Amino acid sequence: MPSTFVAKGAEAYETSMGRWSRRLAAPFLDFAGVPPRGRVLDAGCGTGSLTLALADHPGLEAIEAIDFEENFVAALRSRTDDARVRAQQGDVCALPYEDKTFDAVYSLLVLHFVSDANRAAREMHRVLKSGAIAAAAVWSYDGMPSWRLFWDTVRAIEPEASGKGVPSGRRPLTAEGELREVFENAGFTGIAETRLTITMDYASFEDFWLPKVYGQGTFATYFDGLPKARRDRLRDALKAAYLAGGGDDGPRGFESFAFAVRGTA
Ligand SMILES: C[S@@+](CC[C@H](N)C(=O)[O-])C[C@H]1O[C@@H](n2cnc3c(N)ncnc32)[C@H](O)[C@@H]1O
């Protein structure tokens, strides 16, 4: 099942998003709950932000992790020697596990990239033991001010860019209630939805800018395609936006939130 996630390299992912998903993993697991023992699955593990947070739970006996991107899976393997962690390449829409295998299944920042999120959620339900918990989270479109700053600036100074890799609006599932509906359709019961907030804090404009343009995701792809003069113009406009119209370069923080749901199989 195709993914709309633009992957470059595991290192680029770490500086662009992995540092924030690591921060989100703790409140996500607080909300989802972790069983005291048993087998759990990280569906769409990326470079392992959530998998490694799960590995901090000593009672768990097996932590399976699966992702589309082979190089992300390899990065996760290189980040741990915990014998309970088993990472493999695979598709969350066709999970390679028997029915009722897991005591909990998690998916952090994945379902809005999956072309058929309903199918992925049905798979999460299938591999869970009866009465066990699944939980998922996706960034809110409105709750990601640092990402919107990029695209809003592009739209302001490059109006002809529309349709050339510039998102025309928000991704599916990134509004309140949409992820809950996917869980309802998959047959989960007792569904709860919440907002999880973290601060994305950058040391300087370079720290904000470089991972996005030379790293991971749709913005880097768009930026790569621009001639130099327009890249420079975009950089200057974004710097002015980051500095919020004045002041010294330095740390800036952006409160960002994700929608999370949990439900029982
Ligand atoms: C934003 S990253 C999140 C990764 C990780 N969960 C984290 O929080 O850092 C989205 C991940 O979803 C994975 N993905 C997208 N579609 C997938 C699919 N159909 N099957 C497996 N993984 C998928 C991508 O490869 C990528 O690693």
Q: Which domain holds residue 109?
A: 10-264
Ligand 1 atom with least separation from CA of 114: 16
- Tell me how far apart the alpha carbons of residues 138 and 173 are, in angstroms, rounded to a whole number: 7
- Which tokens belong to 166? 């510039």
pLDDT of residue 199 exceeding 90, the answer is yes
Has residue 5 been placed in a domain?
no
Q: Is ligand 1 within 6 A of the CB of residue 107?
A: no
CB 47 within 8 A of CB 10: yes
Q: Is 219 left (phi over 0), alpha (psi -120 to 50) or beta?
A: alpha
- Which tokens belong to 137? 């989270």
How many separate domains does the chain show? 1
Q: Is ligand 1 within 6 A of the CB of residue 10?
A: no
pLDDT of residue 225: 84
Residues in CB range of 147: below 8 A, 6 or more apart = 139, 219
Has residue 84 been placed in a domain?
yes
Q: Is ligand 1 within 6 A of the CB of residue 76?
A: no
Segment 145-170, tens digit of pLDDT: 988 898 889 888 887 766 666 666 67
Instruction: Give residue 38's pLDDT band: very low, low, confident or very high (50, 70, 90).
Output: very high
38: three-class secondary structure by DSSP:
strand
Run of H or E residues at 203? none
Has residue 231 been placed in a domain?
yes
Q: How far is CA 265 from CA 9, 49, 104, in A?
A: 35, 25, 10
Has residue 220 been placed in a domain?
yes
pLDDT of residue 256 exceeding 60, the answer is yes
Ligand 1 atom with least separation from CA of 24: 8
CATH number of the domain at 72, please: 3.40.50.150
Q: Is ligand 1 within 6 A of the CB of residue 139?
A: no
pLDDT of residue 20 exceeding 80, the answer is yes
Has residue 3 been placed in a domain?
no
CB 8 within 8 A of CB 220: yes
Has residue 144 been placed in a domain?
yes
More confident residue, 106 or 246: 106
Has residue 238 been placed in a domain?
yes
pLDDT of residue 141: 85
Q: Is ligand 1 within 6 A of the CB of residue 18?
A: yes
**Residue in 3, 13, 200, 219 to alter for ligand 1 test, most ligand atoms within 8 A of Cβ:** 3
Has residue 126 been placed in a domain?
yes
